[in-house]
A and B are shown apart, each in its own frame.
Chain A
């Protein structure tokens, strides 16, 4: 039994390197024990640096793309599952496009989970202004991802927020972008971030863009599951919006039409010409 220890930061590259080595040395999947971030492995497994990969090794490109996502899944079995499939796909590359292979389907599902988690991270991270002393504005966010998606998703934030410094803190990994350089460090517990006045404005927007005449709560929660709400400033308004929606919608219907303000007739007459009904403004 061989034990391969993978690091929390840089997991994808380390797994790939290890898997290439094991595969070149012909180590069978059942003889590998994968551990991650110093987790206790099997006491009887021999800790070993993975064997050096042979340079000629090739695998289907589609597998690499999939593996690069699956390694970030929270399932502790992810590395073993990937290697087990890699072992088979090396002999039969067509397996990669087969439908109905249980091992592949499981991996595809995990890939989807990670993609969805990354997508929600791009959507739901909320920065707070830290105030700046230098020319670059500084922002920070606390986020709770379901999978280990901070590292693979951070480049998105560097492309988007290129002219500011920012940090995204999670229990898992912390991503930091300063002076145009991205770096990762160990996760942290939730920091105390300063109040940000923009959140009240954003809440106002959220309350008013909602149309109480068309409540569809299921459509909201399927796309924005409740687990994300506590870190989104606008979500605190949701219960109140739902509670009052029906009454507000009814009131709009019940309100008797009002008389137009006096100036209206003047404006309209100027536009249409007295009694002509012309349509050109």
Chain B
């Protein structure tokens, strides 16, 4: 009987039901998205934020051959380094740095694989495009300003010892916010022995502990390199994760608050419309708590329906959003579902409870007397 009544009364007040359902579904969907996205912050998001580029630099280390012996620079065994990095699912791109003269000033010319460099430095704000061909180069903003170079023009660099020069056409000028802004990046292979030194940009999944772990295994593997975390990037990552969480959290709260207000307003107006009906229930023998139970069950049913729809919608949306923004997929979880259910059922029953309170405050005799 109660279920029957609830069904029909909800259908009867279709507009209020639809409004509450829509609002609650949106809330449940948002809650789902929030929890789906933030639940694996440690993993999913940090891993996805790794698409922001390198978080460590590998360079030749220092070796002490014995107590009191002077430190010597080790020779990097890049073959070994690549192996060990791969074992820890780290992405690694080698760079070779040469020094040449450009307009009379010593300038760093860095050679790197074009695609690899792009993976490690997605944060570069590039005017034009990255260098791809052998005779192309990308130039840092500071250097471009100092030398008056611009996109499309060519630059000539002289290698003093080798007594030869190379010509590159500038395809892009970039801002990076670090010393790379004074460098030229090219893809042309370096002749053995020409490089002043080599280093590598590394993108390690996880955070600083994972970098330490890789560092340890590099040391144990005698690869001859050391890893230095790019602290700015690491802290940046954590700050970004935190900020995103905070922002979405605040947005979620605001939306939930608004939707509670909206649903409560709708329920209240409906209760006032139905005050005679509720008084009648009491007149034919319903105790106050039965009336409250009726209204609460009505609210809860809408809440549960909204939770189911909202969870489905939210899961779909969070897949799309996370794939778009972070390029990974989220794993469906039970926690977002619980969150969606709690959110919409709590809001709906809260609104119904406020409505019930209001309904019971009105005098039954007066309500049943009037026309």
- Whether both chains belong to one complex is answered with no
